[in-house]
């Protein structure tokens, strides 16, 4: 049977674009891709890239203060949101253009519209056109969702933050995950009065307890008003502001309310149920180790599968899919020991197991040190950093490395290589320290802080 295409990709984010262009460029496959919104997906258009640029912008205020401590005669000015937003939008337009060119140069045919599945080998575009393909790859990502409570529709999500006409004077951020905590730091740094409610006992659930405890402490020290064990009951509009009733009995007014309370896979109304493609409890598409659904010709990668929701992971899944399906080299996706950074302020880099998870598996040693880094200490700041290694007593392997410090994301990338290779504590000990740096503490901790 002949098909219009060897591969039809639904979704123009990082994972879908990589799979499409590598399949077309490396193997000569005939490939098409449909995207209903902007090319680049969550990461490029409304996630990691604009967020990191906002993190950079938010840190300059403190840098000016620090510079004065170092003898520079400079005066802090005001942040111009309009000027920054104009440059940000231009940069995102440029990056979207890059994604479009990458596809075109690889010979991928693109359709700027929504697509859904009709059967195991057919997709239907929004204009009613039908296209057949030997293989279909779903890479539609995820989206932020608001909770089901009175007035929630009045709030914004992380998608909307980049499009605000002006920065609010005050904002309530609801949630305790990395998106909530990153935006709390960003907006605080840009001069917004930030309050954060999180229903749990501590922010950043799932990460190392000691590390998240320090981040929360430092956020509070900086002036972010964090309320743990607190949730919102309802919100109403009151003039230009929003009145928020909380579970701690308070009622307060805010200029904006942002929900960062979870994300959902974009898998609705795609014809999956008609094909018998299984979906999980959160609505995610269920796939095997090779990203294949229960329908052999249909695969799915990235956030829509709700495995490890990170851009580089979606790209890896896309590459493994091409290896498996188009290069005859069955490649399961490796989700083990993925280094990651959280751009909170202070920043966190982490790879491997938290102390808590490791201790549940086997006897461990913990090496940890917390101190004031030289640069900030000289400037009169009280900021603290954390360097931590979780070590197997039996094998001496590093099971987890956790860093809370400026530049932690840069550090964890390199530490991640060592941990992925199976480095032992003694391998770290044999490595000479780079002095004077914060990261030298990773190789100079000789005595366990505790065992578990």
Residue count (the chain): 452
Burial of 8 (0-12, 13-18, 19+ CB in 10 A): buried
Token pair listed for 338: 């993925």
Q: Cα dihedral angle (436, 439, 440, 443), rounded to 10 degrees?
A: 180
**Three-state secondary structure call for residue 448:** coil
Q: Would you tell me the crossing angle of helices 81-105 and 14-27 to the nearest 10 degrees?
A: 30
Burial of 231 (0-12, 13-18, 19+ CB in 10 A): middle
Task: Quote helix, strand, coil % in the chain, to nearest 5.
Answer: 35, 25, 40
Residues annotated catalytic, as ranges: 435
Residue by residue, DSSP assigns 227-284 as EET--EEEEEEETTEEEEEETTS-EEEESEEEE-S-EEES-TTSSHHHHT--B-TTSP
Residues 15, 142 contacting (CB under 8 angstroms): no
Rounded to whole angstroms, the Cα distance separating 272 from 393 reads: 47
Token pair listed for 380: 């009169």
Rounded to whole angstroms, the Cα distance separating 397 from 393 reads: 8
**Residue for token digits 């400079």?**
74
Signed CA dihedral, 154, 158, 163, 169: sign only: positive
Token pair listed for 252: 């307060």
**Three-state secondary structure call for residue 121:** coil
Helix residue ranges, H only, 106-251: 178-189, 209-222
């Amino acid at each position: 049977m002949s098909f219009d295409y060897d591969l039809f990709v639904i979704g123009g984010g990082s994972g879908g674009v990589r799979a499409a262009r590598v399949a077309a460029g490396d193997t000569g496959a005939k490939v098409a891709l449909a995207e209903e919104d902007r090319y680049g997906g969550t990461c490029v258009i409304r996630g990691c890239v604009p967020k990191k640029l906002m993190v950079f912008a938010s840190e300059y205020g403190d840098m000016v203060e620090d510079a004065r401590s170092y003898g520079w005669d400079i005066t802090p000015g005001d942040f111009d949101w309009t000027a920054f937003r104009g440059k940000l939008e231009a940069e995102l337009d440029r990056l979207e253009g890059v994604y479009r060119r990458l596809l075109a140069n690889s010979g991928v045919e693109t359709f700027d519209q929504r697509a859904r599945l009709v059967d195991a080998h057919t997709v239907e575009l929004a204009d009613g056109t039908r296209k057949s393909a030997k293989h279909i790859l779903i890479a539609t990502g995820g989206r932020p969702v608001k909770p089901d409570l009175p007035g929630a529709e009045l709030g914004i999500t992380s998608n909307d933050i980049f499009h605000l006409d002006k920065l609010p004077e005050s904002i309530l951020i609801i949630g305790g995950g990395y998106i909530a905590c990153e935006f709390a730091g960003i907006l605080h740094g840009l001069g917004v009065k930030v309050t954060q409610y999180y229903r749990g006992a501590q922010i950043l659930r799932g990460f190392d307890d000691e590390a998240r405890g320090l981040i929360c402490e430092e956020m509070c020290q900086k002036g972010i008003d964090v309320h743990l064990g607190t949730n919102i009951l309802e919100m109403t509009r009151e003039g230009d502001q929003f009145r928020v009733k909380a579970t701690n009995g308070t009622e307060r007014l805010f200029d904006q309310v942002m929900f960062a309370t979870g994300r959902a896979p974009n898998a609705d109304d795609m014809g999956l149920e008609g094909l018998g493609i299984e979906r999980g409890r959160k609505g995610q598409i269920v796939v095997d180790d090779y990203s294949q659904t229960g329908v052999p010709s249909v695969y799915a990668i990235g956030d829509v599968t709700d495995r490890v929701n990170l851009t580089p992971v979606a790209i890896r899944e896309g590459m493994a899919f091409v290896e498996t399906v188009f290069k005859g080299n069955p490649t399961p996706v490796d989700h083990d020991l993925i280094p990651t950074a959280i751009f909170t302020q202070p920043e966190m880099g982490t790879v491997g197991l938290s102390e808590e998870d490791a201790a549940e598996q086997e006897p461990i040693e913990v090496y940890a040190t917390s101190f004031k880094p030289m640069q900030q200490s000289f400037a009169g700041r009280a900021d603290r950093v954390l360097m931590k290694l979780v070590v197997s007593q039996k094998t001496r392997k590093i099971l987890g490395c956790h860093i809370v410090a400026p530049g932690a994301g840069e550090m964890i990338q390199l530490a991640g290589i060592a941990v992925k290779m199976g480095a032992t504590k003694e391998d770290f000990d044999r490595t000479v320290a780079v002095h004077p740096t914060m990261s030298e503490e990773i190789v100079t901790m000789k005595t366990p802080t505790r065992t578990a």
